[in-house]
Amino acid sequence: MTPWWQGAVVYQIYPRSFCDSDGDGVGDLKGIEGKLDYIAALGVDAIWLSPIHPSPNRDFGYDVADFNGVEPSLGTMAGFERLIAEAHRRGLKVILDEVLSHTSDQHPWFIESLKSRENAKADWYVWADPREDGTPPNNWLSVFGGPAWSYHPLRRQYYFHKFLKQQPKVNLHNPEALAAALDVLKFWLDRGVDGFRLDVANSFLHDAEQRDNPAVPIADRTAHHWAHAPNLQRRIRDSNLPENRTVLDQIRTVVDAYDNRFVFGEFSEEPGLLGHFAGAKHGLHTGYTFTFLEDRTFKPDVFAKHYAFLGEIDGLWPCVTFSNHDVPRTVTRYGRTMEADPALAKLALTLLMTLKGTVLLYQGEELGLPDGPIERNQIRDPVGELYFPYSKGRDPCRTPMPWVAGKPNLGFSYGEPWLPVAPAHAALAANKQEQDKGSVLWFARALVGLRKAQPALALGDMRVLAATDKVLAFERTHGGDHIVCVFNLSPSSASFALSGPVQPMLDVGDVARNGDTLTLSSRSAWIGKRS
């Protein structure tokens, strides 16, 4: 029997920015509950909630202070249980974002670990003695800038943090700490959640000897490496260890003990380990890399090469996404603009919904939202604080959802929003698009419907037919169904020769057909079914 998540469309919700029900400016669980009909109307199969646990919000939920609770600004446990029930009533599954690799420094585990080198949780975090001159024990760098070590005089030691110093790394080499992390998953599975997205799932284990990361050779460095100091290292000692698989296997065993559940992960930095960390019978069920999330070129060979790479991994079902809470939105990244571009939004959605894999759709992508503008005094994200104005961090892709044009804060909240509502989003508000059957919203619904109606798109194999400077073409096949998907991703016209009789199903943009030859205008697509 095919698992429900294979070929599914999962709608990612960043709760703080989705819908605020009580006017405090922060989105909440009750706000999500009030929009479940909207989400169900998209035709998606599940919702993924970014972290909902109590947090001091240094990294807005990705610094967890209590794994078994609900952040008070988001709601209550009773409210969460009601949200699950209402989602399930509409046929929507609920996936939680869990951060097992690190906690907040306000988590009780860390508070106890900090007290001494002999207490019961002394080894639940990654501690190390300073060098003789007081400097950190090795060269590991934080993703958020500077050394990945902070000194604490209470233990006279450094502790490791891959991200902020307020996010100490849990030592999952410790059997008791690992057992406690697995108990977190059981706690929420017992409350009816349908699965998990695991944050930085490649980073559960670190090199126990704490050896230096090697440098990326000078000759191999690209703009990506120079954009951020940690990228100048190959992060194979602070994360991406092959033995990380042992933790993932135990997580899989926990999840598979419950009926019909799903666990996938975020895998960054060393994508070649994806097949080792996820698969049909080992590791997580699937996972995604940052190959598409970081791409700004929108070139055919990016997609062709990644699927060639995926095709070499035996038994792996792909997971595909173009956007999330950590990267610029699709329209902004591919279009290099802060302006709306409905045509580009429709093209990108068509590609996303026809690729092989489980699809992750970030909130607002169904409206074609670009990033929102952020000024210096509005920054909440530590990455923005680090690099502004060169980079405004992740706040621009996290601005509140525009629900109702004409209402204060576009219907997101009747209070001051935690991030500013983008003025340009008023024209893209959900209520306006609902009234326009040519809108991105209506188009997104139709695409999800097409994917569900065609097993070849949801579950089929994928064979790349062409990947030129302009054209990406591939065929999806399932049983006797064959669907041909042709995309001109370039800003100028292109042509593609079809092979054999193919009946048209969908045009995106201007496409002309003369016999077996398609002429595609700039950034257009054609989908057809072999007869």
Catalytic residues: 199, 266
Return the closest-CA partner of residue 346 out of 487, 495, 470: 487
Longest dimension (CA), the chain: 78
Residue whose tokens read 């002999």: 118
- Phi, psi angle pair for 2, to nearest 5°: -70, 125
DSSP 28: -
CB count within 10 Å of CB 190 equals: 9
- How far apart CA 188 and CA 265 sit, in angstroms, is 17
Return the closest-CA partner of residue 361 out of 20, 92, 83, 77: 92
Are the CB atoms for 193 and 95 separated by under 8 Å?
A: yes
CA 331-335-336 angle, to 5 degrees, is 105
- Listed in sequence order, the residues at least 6 apart from 164 whose beta carbon sits closer than 8 Å to its beta carbon are 58, 59, 63, 142, 144, 382
CB count within 10 Å of CB 50 equals: 23
User: In the chain, how many H helices and how many E strands?
Assistant: 15, 19
Taking phi first (over 0 means left), then psi (-120 to 50 degrees means alpha), and beta for anything else, what does residue 528 get?
beta
Instruction: Tell me the C-alpha to C-alpha distance, in Å, between residue 249 and each of 103, 307, 428.
Output: 21, 25, 43
Measured over the CA atoms of residue 470, residue 347, residue 342 and residue 378, the dihedral's sign is negative
Q: Is 200 helix (H, G, I), strand (E, B) or coil?
A: coil
